[in-house]
Structure 1
Amino acid sequence: MTTQNLKGKVALVTGASRGIGRATAVALAGLGAHLVITARSQGGLEETDDMIRAAGGSATLIPLDLQREGEQIDMLGPSIVERFGRLDILVHAAAVLSKLTPVAHIMPRDWEESLAVNTSATWRLIRTCDPPLRAAEAGRAVVLTDRHVFAPAAYWGLYSAAKAAQAHLVGCWAAELEQTKLRVALVDPGPVATQLRMVAFPGEDQKKIRQPEEVGAAVAALVAGSPFPHGDVTRI
């Protein structure tokens, strides 16, 4: 695989205040891209910005609640194009694991949150980012997925149902792009030492599993590499 320099490219990364989103944003900045980073936490975004600057990059910070600010998501694509004239890369890393619970015990509030963040936000991001990504010379979109999408397990229904809907939505989008320059892929990073993982496995020693920095570097290399696994589920 060949890796290109991303100087002059503009990349949007969600969930960039911590974990894989943060690590991917820093790695993309190291390859030369200008980052537009979003997350709910202003403080977390500022910490990511510090890391991006330390890597020699630059970033634009957009605090955004994917659950409650749908209209703001809708404006991302046009706003980025208005300011920078382009959008080349989308990495959708934001996700929420409300709780692990029997399907029969899922509460409406938790169901609505999981669908809003894990599914509906993806639909809104596709709508707003599709036009500028199609217009890019080599548009790339990566959406993080989870193995529970493909292997249903007890107590994971709340999370995996929403992520399964997300995966099918992204797969359909990819199929519709076959005759375009825009390439789209789902990425399954496996077990990674993130806060979401800690919620699911609170007793796990996170030092013994992959760290976000390793995964972020791999996602950035995938985005900047050729060939790109369009339409596939890639395990990194």
Structure 2
Amino acid sequence: MTTSPDKVDSEEAAATPSVPDLTGRVAVVTGASRGIGYFIAKQMAAAGAHVIAVARTVGGLEELDDEIKAEAARTGKGAATLVPLDLADMEGIDRLGGAVNDRWGKLDILVANAGVLGVIAPIGHVEAKTFEKVMAINLTSTWRLIRSVDPLLRKSDAGRAILMSSGAAHAGRAFWAPYAASKAAVEAFARSWADETRNMPLCVNAFDPGATRTAMRAQAMPGEDPETLPHPSEVAAWVLPLASPALTETGRIFQARQKRWVSYRLPD
């Protein structure tokens, strides 16, 4: 029996996000050189984590590292390891898991944040190379990342996996088909993985950031006033509670704009 991407059984979260103590936790954050991923990495380090920051853009990673080091100098908390990696390099993703295992022997937190929009166009007008890139970065690399670090998350006393989704996965909106399909598939990954690990100390959830003041949003909606949207640092703050060792939710979605957890239902 299939399930619908529509969701019910919603429950309100706190009005403001809590900041868990992540001291001693090891976290992989992809897409960490800009946007929401940059601030997730920065805020997790400030909460005490050692962040393995993964991105293509070396300059953005170095800026992040400077920010984390400056905060650590003030508070004594947090550190980063920079991993310049294009997630189209599938063998590189495999090596990442091996490197984490060799150095730490486990992983506590995965935030699969990196993604690309592709184009906003009628589905029949999307070029094959564009479609394939969207699927490679948003979907295939996420699967490869899960495969690479799943054994390490299972070694944690409280493994936490957070896969970045989008409201586009459910909207069925014209011209968004490749991106929407990739994010719907990512949610299917999260739900299946959560079900596989339901009797383990690993929690797997999807995160829907909603419209956010990012370069990707500007690409999708060039006429929109970015000042009307939340800053990525505000959205990133809602990811941190999903990384908490105290979390009990698994196999669900957290919607940042609505500040709530939501579940799935069977189709009508």
Q: Report what 1:29 is aligned to.
A: 45
Return the TM-score normalized by structure 1.
0.96
Q: 1:174 aligns with which of 189, 194, 198?
A: 194
In 2, are the aligned partners of 1:10 and 1:34 still within 8 Å (CA)? yes
Q: CA deviation at 1:84?
A: 2.2
SS of equivalent to 2:190: helix
Q: Report what 1:59 is aligned to.
A: 80
Q: Deviations over 1:124-182 (max 9, x none)?
A: 01101100101100000101100110111000012111111111122111111111111
Q: 1:222 aligns with which of 239, 242, 251?
A: 242
Q: Report what 2:115 is aligned to.
A: 95
Gaps of at least 5 residues in structure 1 are none
1 or 2, which has the higher helix percentage? 1
In 2, are the aligned partners of 1:26 and 1:55 still within 8 Å (CA)? no
In 1, are the aligned partners of 2:160 and 2:242 still within 8 Å (CA)? no
Alpha-carbon separation, structure 1, partners of 2:138 and 2:146: 13
* AA of the residue aligned to 1:141: A
Q: Report what 2:134 is aligned to.
A: 114
Q: Report what 2:211 is aligned to.
A: 191
Alpha-carbon separation, structure 2, partners of 1:200 and 1:210: 16
Return the TM-score normalized by structure 2.
0.85
Q: Deviations over 1:41-76 (max 9, x none)?
A: 111111111122222131111111112x10010121
Q: CA deviation at 1:225?
A: 6.0
* AA of the residue aligned to 1:159: Y
Task: State the superposition RMSD in angstroms.
Answer: 1.4
In 2, are the aligned partners of 1:10 and 1:89 still within 8 Å (CA)? yes
Q: Report what 1:202 is aligned to.
A: 222
Q: Report what 2:60 is aligned to.
A: 44
Gaps of at least 5 residues in structure 2 are 1-13, 73-77, 257-268
In 2, are the aligned partners of 1:222 and 1:228 still within 8 Å (CA)? no
Alpha-carbon separation, structure 2, partners of 1:228 and 1:24: 20
SS of equivalent to 1:37: strand
Alpha-carbon separation, structure 2, partners of 1:232 and 1:90: 16
Q: CA deviation at 1:222?
A: 2.6
* AA of the residue aligned to 2:58: Q
Query: Which portions of structure 1, spanning 4 or more consecutive aligned residues, are displaced by more than 4 angstroms?
Result: none
Q: Which moved more, 1:219-228 or 1:169-178?
A: 219-228
Alpha-carbon separation, structure 2, partners of 1:32 and 1:170: 26
* AA of the residue aligned to 2:236: G
Q: Deviations over 1:73-119 (max 9, x none)?
A: 01212211211232100011100011101001110100110000000
Q: Percent identity?
A: 43
Q: Which moved more, 1:20-29 or 1:202-211?
A: 202-211
* AA of the residue aligned to 1:168: A
In 1, are the aligned partners of 2:19 and 2:240 still within 8 Å (CA)? no
Alpha-carbon separation, structure 2, partners of 1:228 and 1:51: 31
Alpha-carbon separation, structure 2, partners of 1:168 and 1:221: 22
In 2, are the aligned partners of 1:148 and 1:156 still within 8 Å (CA)? yes
Q: CA deviation at 1:3?
A: 5.3
Q: Which has the larger radius of gyration?
A: 2
Alpha-carbon separation, structure 2, partners of 1:188 and 1:136: 25
Count of residues in Structure 1 that have an aligned counterpart in Structure 2: 235
Matched, 1:150 2:170: yes
